[in-house]
Amino acid sequence: MRRREFIAVLGGMTAWSVVVRAQQAGMMRIDGLMSTAETDPEEAFGDGYRKSSIISRKAIGTCRLTPEEFHTAYPKLRAWIQKTLEFYEENAKAVAAMHFVRLPLYFDASLLETAKFIAIDRLPMPPLSAMGLSRFAVFEQGDFSGITYLNRYFIKQTVVTEEAIHFHELIHVIQWRLLGPEDFLAAYANGLDEFGYENSPLEKMAYDAEAAFRRPSPIFDAEKFVAEQLGRFP
């Protein structure tokens, strides 16, 4: 999938989540845990970004996951994320503490201080089937190296020293912040539904960036890269 095609698809993915919010005007939104349990999610994850022109609200396509399905599952998923991050917060370490040599060339120092990782033997995966999203059972049972929730990511102990894995997950941290939790989850769910894991647009973006990081490619601003990919529409 070419990048312009990716952006068109992503625009279609996020569009219906806006319809949900329009239909549910006034509904109280509580997103997941950020830096600490006391942090306000809406303030911490770039409300201004979400309200800016970074994400197009123009519907481009039709997704199989309906607004009703997402609206039913989203509160359960955000609650699970918050509970999970609260449980593991004492084990979270700033990415900067790893003293990687190359990450600071791609990411702002403040991000490497605020984004944290939890090294673990088995990644905590959301019980999507129990939330009424049985179509994602394969993803739920997946054996991945890392997974990101907001500005925290879990990474397997066996790969915790691999800088490229941290790079990949940090791309997701930026995606979470620029899109906002609700739009990120909507886009990610629809990407899985339509294309499968590795070809889902948000994952493909992270894998493309990781591949460039692994090659002797020119250094680039990772946050600018993500913002441009999310904002480049036909």
What's the pLDDT tens digit per position in 30-80? 233 333 333 443 333 333 333 332 333 233 344 467 888 889 999 999 999
Residue 119 located in a structural domain = yes
Of 85, 166, 164, nearest in space to 124 by CA:
85
Count CA atoms within 13 Å of residue 179 on its CB side: 28
Q: Structural domain of residue 214, as residue ranges?
A: 3-62+73-231
Better-predicted residue by pLDDT, 173 or 138: 173
pLDDT band at 161 (very low <50, low <70, confident <90, very high): very high
- Residue 68 resides in a domain: no
Listed residue (55, 15, 48) closest to 229, CA to CA: 55
User: For residues 74 and 180, what is the distance between their CA atoms, to the nearest angstrom?
Assistant: 13
Taking the C-alpha atoms of residue 16 and residue 67, their distance in angstroms, rounded to an integer, is 6
pLDDT, the chain, mean: 78
Question: Locate tokens 């036909």: which residue?
Answer: 234
pLDDT value at residue 49:
31
Q: With respect to residue 67, please indicate whether it lies within any of the assigned structural domains.
A: no
- Six token digits for residue 156: 């397997």
- Is 88 part of a structural domain of the chain? yes
Q: What is the number of domains present in the chain?
A: 1
Task: Name which of 3-12, 72-81, 194-203, 204-213 the model is least confident about.
Answer: 3-12
Where residue 193 falls among pLDDT bands split at 50, 70, 90?
Answer: confident
